């Protein structure tokens, strides 16, 4: 069963078409990686999946079916979409509040009625941060290390009990050890969430994902247009060992084209 069925997605920023004709089915409770050269529209596609692109004044065409419902449908509330489909950003962006308040922010916002302390603890445990911060929950989240901040941000996203986690290059601002920790975490979270991760690091995609979508830029020299497109989408295994498209092969093997 797929969690997202993306059909003929196109995104334009003003008169600039960033991506077009993207169709793919993203499986439930698996990790799906979006890879490709910088500027090919990976973040753009990711931001469509929880309507964050609404905030960038993007024009979206096509359909994104989530649990049988088009999230760009006229009746849909974008805030509700985002509550179910959480997001972790490229740069760790904790609020300038305490560690506790960072995690509690989402549940409070959404009128959580249960035991907040317990929810905060569970969320921090599931990102393996609890033992490191349990004695300093009142310290500002911004005082943690980069890797800890990113795990805090993941805990914050998890605390609203979403269905899907979108991650946009979550390790690009982190050192190798912090990166490995986040990768371990992603693999553990896979059983409870559907995860879509953008990464420019191919080893990372190979390590954490089951499915990989390779994007590239179609260059139309005549009109000077550069539009992102989906080149190949398959199991990670196949994409990395036996790609069906020479552009994918060139990219994977480092001969970029």
Partner 1 sequence: MSATLSRQRKRIADPAFRWFVTLAGASVFVILAGMVIRTTNDAWPIFQYQGFFSFLTGDQWLAGSSRTDSDFTGTYGAWPFIYGTLVTALIAIVIALPLALCVAFYINQLAPKRLRNPLSYSVEMLAAVPSIIFGMWGFFWLLPNVLRPFLEWLESTFGWINLAGWKPFEGPVFGSSYLAAGIVLAIMILPIITAIVREVIAVNPVDQQHAAYALGATRFEVMRKVVLPSSFSGIVAASMLGLGRAVGETVAVMMLIGSTKSWDGSLLSAGDSMAAHIAARFGEATPETTKALMAIGVVLFLFTMIINIGARLLVWRIGRVSGDAAV
Where along the sequence are the contacts to partner 1 (CB under 8 A)? Answer: 50, 52, 55, 57, 79-80, 82-84, 86-87, 89, 91, 93-98, 101, 105-106, 109-110, 140, 153, 156-157, 160
Comparing CB distances to Mg ion, the nearer of 93 and 192 is 93
Which among ligand ADP, Mg ion, partner 1, none contacts residue 39 (Cβ within 5 to 8 A by kind)? Answer: ligand ADP
Smallest distance, ligand ADP to C-beta of residue 144, A? 26
- Nearby residues of 25 by Cβ (< 8 Å), 6 or more positions away: 2, 4, 5, 6
User: Is residue 194 at the binding interface for ligand ADP, with CB under 6 A as the rule?
Assistant: no
H-helix or E-strand spanning residue 104? helix 99-109
Is position 199 an interface residue for Mg ion (rule: CB under 5 A)?
A: no
3-state secondary structure labels for all residues of 21-68: EEEEEEECCCEEEEECCCCCCHHHHHHHHCCHHHHHCEEEEEEEEECC
Closer CB to ligand ADP, residue 119 or residue 167?
A: 167
Rounded CA separation 35/206 (Å): 10
Closer to Mg ion by Cβ: residue 43 or 123: 43
CB of 139 to ligand ADP, least distance (A): 33
Instruction: Compute the distance between CA of residue 125 and CA of residue 5 in angstroms, rounded to an integer.
Output: 32
Q: x/- contact string, 14-43, with Mg ion (CB under 5 A)?
A: -----------------------------x
Is residue 53 close enough to count as binding Mg ion by CB under 5 A?
A: no
Question: Rg for the chain (alpha carbons), in Å?
Answer: 18
Q: How many CB atoms within 10 Å of residue 195?
A: 25
41 scored as a contact of ligand ADP (CB under 6 A): yes
Using CB under 6 A as the binding rule, whether residue 107 contacts ligand ADP is answered as no
Closest approach of partner 1 to the CB of residue 149, in Å: 11
DSSP secondary structure of 200-257 = S-HHHHHHH-SEEEEEEEEEETTTTEEEEEEEEEEEHHHHHHS-SSHHHHHHHTT---
| Minimum CB distance to partner 1 smaller for 26 or for 231 | 26
Q: Which does 30 bind (CB under 5 to 8 A by kind): ligand ADP, Mg ion, partner 1, none?
A: none
Task: Tell me which of ligand ADP, Mg ion, partner 1, none is bound by residue 205, counting a contact when its beta carbon lies within the kind-specific cut-off of 5 to 8 angstroms.
Answer: none
Give the residue, chosen from 23, 56, 108, 115, that forms a contact with ligand ADP under the rule CB under 6 A: 56
243 binds, among Mg ion, ligand ADP, partner 1, none (CB under 5 to 8 A by kind): none
How far is residue 195 CA from its own chain's centroid? Answer: 7
What is the DSSP pairing of strand 58-66 with strand 69-70? antiparallel
Type and span of the H or E element at 150: helix 146-158
> What are 161's two structure tokens?
């009990």
**What is the binding site for ligand ADP (CB under 6 A)?**
13, 18, 38-44, 56, 228
């Amino acid at each position: 069963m797929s969690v997202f069925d993306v059909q003929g997605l196109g995104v334009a920023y003003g008169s600039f078409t960033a991506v077009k004709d993207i169709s793919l089915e993203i499986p439930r409770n698996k990790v799906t990686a979006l890879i490709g050269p910088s500027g090919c529209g990976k973040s753009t596609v990711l931001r469509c999946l929880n309507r964050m692109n609404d905030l960038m004044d993007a024009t979206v065409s096509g359909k994104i079916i989530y649990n049988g419902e088009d999230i760009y449908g006229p009746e849909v509330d974008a805030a509700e979409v985002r509550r179910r489909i959480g997001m972790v950003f490229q740069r760790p962006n904790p609020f300038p509040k305490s560690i506790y308040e960072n995690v509690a922010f989402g549940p409070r916002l959404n009128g959580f009625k249960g035991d907040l302390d317990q929810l905060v603890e569970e969320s921090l445990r599931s990102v393996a941060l609890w033992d490191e911060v349990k004695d300093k929950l009142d310290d500002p989240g911004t005082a943690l290390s980069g890797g800890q901040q990113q795990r805090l941000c993941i805990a914050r996203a998890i605390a609203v009990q979403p269905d899907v986690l979108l991650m946009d290059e979550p390790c690009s601002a982190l050192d190798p050890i912090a990166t490995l920790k986040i990768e371990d975490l992603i693999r553990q979270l896979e059983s409870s969430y559907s995860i879509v991760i953008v990464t420019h690091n191919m080893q990372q995609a190979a390590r954490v994902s089951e499915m990989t979508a390779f994007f590239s830029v179609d260059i139309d020299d005549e009109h000077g247009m550069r539009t992102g497109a989906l080149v190949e989408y398959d199991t990670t295994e196949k994409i990395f060992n036996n790609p069906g498209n020479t552009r994918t092969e060139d990219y994977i093997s480092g001969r970029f084209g």
